[in-house]
């Protein structure tokens, strides 16, 4: 019977969480890296800045070959059948600062944290070869979109940087030797 490939989303998200949490800049600043949304009662316990690894969607912002827009695509390479999975992981950096800091200071700190994330992701893929994942699974992962919001929470200033991480993974599936 043919095997059914399993999505890389949970393992990639967990490995990325571990990679970011172990990053020197992020761990030195004691910035929590969350796997998914916090529970409603937990929000006050997280702190005033955090990194959130949220939802995924089957999308390929690179508009890959053959109009492959995301999700799963099957290809036969010799006697091995591969399934390529492309998706976007939605993530965010959240920073809430006291009213005395001012919106600019809060926003600048949020972008500094975002830079930590960007550098850690780049180094992980280019230098580490996506350690923590099965060999030759992850083809690429990079930040491909960014939106930022500013506002107030009571007397505090808030900045949220939402960003997308485009991902491509190859799964060996049905028909594999």
**Structure token pair of residue 13:** 């998200």
Specify the pLDDT at position 127. Answer: 72
Identify the structural domains of the chain with CATH numbers, from first to last.
Answer: 9-172 (3.30.70.1700)
Degrees, nearest 5: CA angle 121-145-73 = 80
Residue carrying the six token digits 């390529």: 84
Phi, psi of 110 (to 5 degrees): -60, -40
Specify the pLDDT at position 6. Answer: 75
**Structure token pair of residue 94:** 């959240």
pLDDT band per the 50, 70, 90 thresholds, residue 174: very low
Q: What is the dihedral of CA 25, 94, 119, 10, to 10 degrees?
A: 100
Phi, psi of 14 (to 5 degrees): -65, -40
Q: Report strand pairing: 49-57 vs 33-35.
A: parallel
The answer to whether the CB of 101 falls within 8 A of the CB of 95 is no
Predicted confidence (pLDDT) per residue in 57-67, tens digit: 887 777 665 55
Specify the pLDDT at position 38. Answer: 80
Predicted confidence (pLDDT) per residue in 156-173, tens digit: 999 999 999 999 888 755
pLDDT band per the 50, 70, 90 thresholds, residue 137: confident
Specify the pLDDT at position 175. Answer: 39
Specify the pLDDT at position 29. Answer: 93
Percent of the chain with pLDDT over 90: 46
115 vs 127, residue with greater confidence: 115
Predicted confidence (pLDDT) per residue in 5-50, tens digit: 678 889 899 999 999 999 999 999 999 999 998 876 676 678 889 9
* pTM, full prediction: 0.84
């Amino acid at each position: 019977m043919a095997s059914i490939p399993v999505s890389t989303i949970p393992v990639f998200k967990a490995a990325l969480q571990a990679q970011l949490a172990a990053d020197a800049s992020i761990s030195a600043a004691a910035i929590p890296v969350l796997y998914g949304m916090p529970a409603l009662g937990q929000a006050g316990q997280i702190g005033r800045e955090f990194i959130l690894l949220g939802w995924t969607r089957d999308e390929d912002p690179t508009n890959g070959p053959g109009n492959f827009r995301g999700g799963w695509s099957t290809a036969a390479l010799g006697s091995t059948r591969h399934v390529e999975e492309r998706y976007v992981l939605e993530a965010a950096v959240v920073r809430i600062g006291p009213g005395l800091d001012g919106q600019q200071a809060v926003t600048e700190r949020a972008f500094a944290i975002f830079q930590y994330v960007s550098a850690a992701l780049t180094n992980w893929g280019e230098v580490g070869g996506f350690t923590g994942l099965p060999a030759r699974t992850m083809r690429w992962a990079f930040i491909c979109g960014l939106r930022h919001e500013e506002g107030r929470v009571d007397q505090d200033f808030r900045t949220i940087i939402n960003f997308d991480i485009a991902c491509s993974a190859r799964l060996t599936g049905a028909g594999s030797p």
